[in-house]
Amino acid sequence: MALAKVLVADKIHEDGLKLLQEFAEVEVATGLKPEELVERVGDKNVIVVRSATKVTNDVVAAGKQLKIIARAGVGLDNIDVEAAKCRNIKVINAPEAPAVAVAELVFAYMLTFARHILRADSGTKQGKWEKKELMGTELRDKTLGIVGTGHIGQKVGYMGAAFKMNLLFHDIVQNEELAKRTGGKYVDLKTLLQESDYITLHVPLLPETKHIVGNAELKLMKPTAVLINTSRGAIVDEKALIEVLQDKKIGGACLDVYENEPLRESPLFDLPNVILTPHIGASTVEAQREAAIIIAKKIKDTLK
């Protein structure tokens, strides 16, 4: 039987490539322009992407032999899922792969914010000794609201329990084991927003989740609360968030994702109560290796 032809259009960890090469004919071609991708995909059975490559309707239409579109990561917003569905092409991803990496980033944000690490580092390097000005707070006994309790949200919950935080969850599907093991409870979004000291978002970008946190939701938050978004930028109404941050209606925000990426110009740059990072949630060696291996195994299983 002929080997499946796989096009790897974005860089993935070499361990995942080795696994793919055990059962498929693999072509690695990264950084392709849209028209080049359309040309290359014609005879391929599988295309593997991360976040850079867009699998548009044109790409799907050109892939006459496509059976699988695989995303070595979490979201599917760079893939035309409906076009693939119409062609009976399976779309798979690896949402479990970056769970620890993203969860650890959430706690890095909270600890950095709570202990004024950025200001402390900058000031000390400038010869300042701002010990009295840098009185911080502990995470212990603070309330952490987790919106979305999938793979990543669950990891955040268990870490929060280890920090002795009070946990509130919100999701359309409730994980009773998570609640039982962490002592957390599921509540409606309004309650979570009103009662949490830190709010972290872990939901996919869908029509129903776009701007799930907008002006009305932001106004429900405590004036000291911090919003954390490591999911997708459009989950939050960025314009509304900027306004409440400028007016100091909430304590601050820690953002890894934005409505338009890369973020080149933004009023966010001038705000002292914000921590910004360039979509690095899944950017650990371990997470990228895991994503590549998981997606290779899923491709193999799907081709059977």
The reply to whether omega before 204 is within 30° of 0 (cis) is no
Radius of gyration of the chain (CA): 21
For residue 1, count CB atoms less than 10 angstroms from its CB and return exposed for 0-12, middle for 13-18, buried for 19 or more: exposed
Query: Which member of 27, 36, 130, 261 is catalytic?
Result: 261
Query: Which member of 217, 232, 238, 290 is catalytic?
Result: 232
- 3-state secondary structure at position 162: helix
What is the maximum alpha-carbon separation in the chain?
72
- H or E element in which residue 122 lies: helix 117-125
232 is catalytic: yes
Query: Which member of 279, 286, 289, 290 is catalytic?
Result: 279
Q: Which residue has the tokens 């890894």?
A: 256
Rounded to an integer, what distance in angstroms lies between the CA atom of residue 31 and that of residue 29?
Answer: 7
Rounded to an integer, what distance in angstroms lies between the CA atom of residue 1 and that of residue 299?
Answer: 17
Can you say whether the dihedral through the CA atoms of 195, 199, 202, 204 is positive or negative?
Answer: positive
138 is catalytic: no
At residue 67, what is the residue type?
K
Strand 198-201 and strand 90-93: pairing?
unpaired
Strand 274-276 and strand 198-201: pairing?
unpaired
259 is catalytic: no
Rounded to an integer, what distance in angstroms lies between the CA atom of residue 228 and that of residue 249?
Answer: 15
Strand 143-147 and strand 166-170: pairing?
parallel
Q: Does residue 51 contact residue 78 with C-beta atoms inside 8 Å?
A: yes
Task: Report, as residue numbers or ranges, the catalytic residues.
Answer: 232, 261, 279
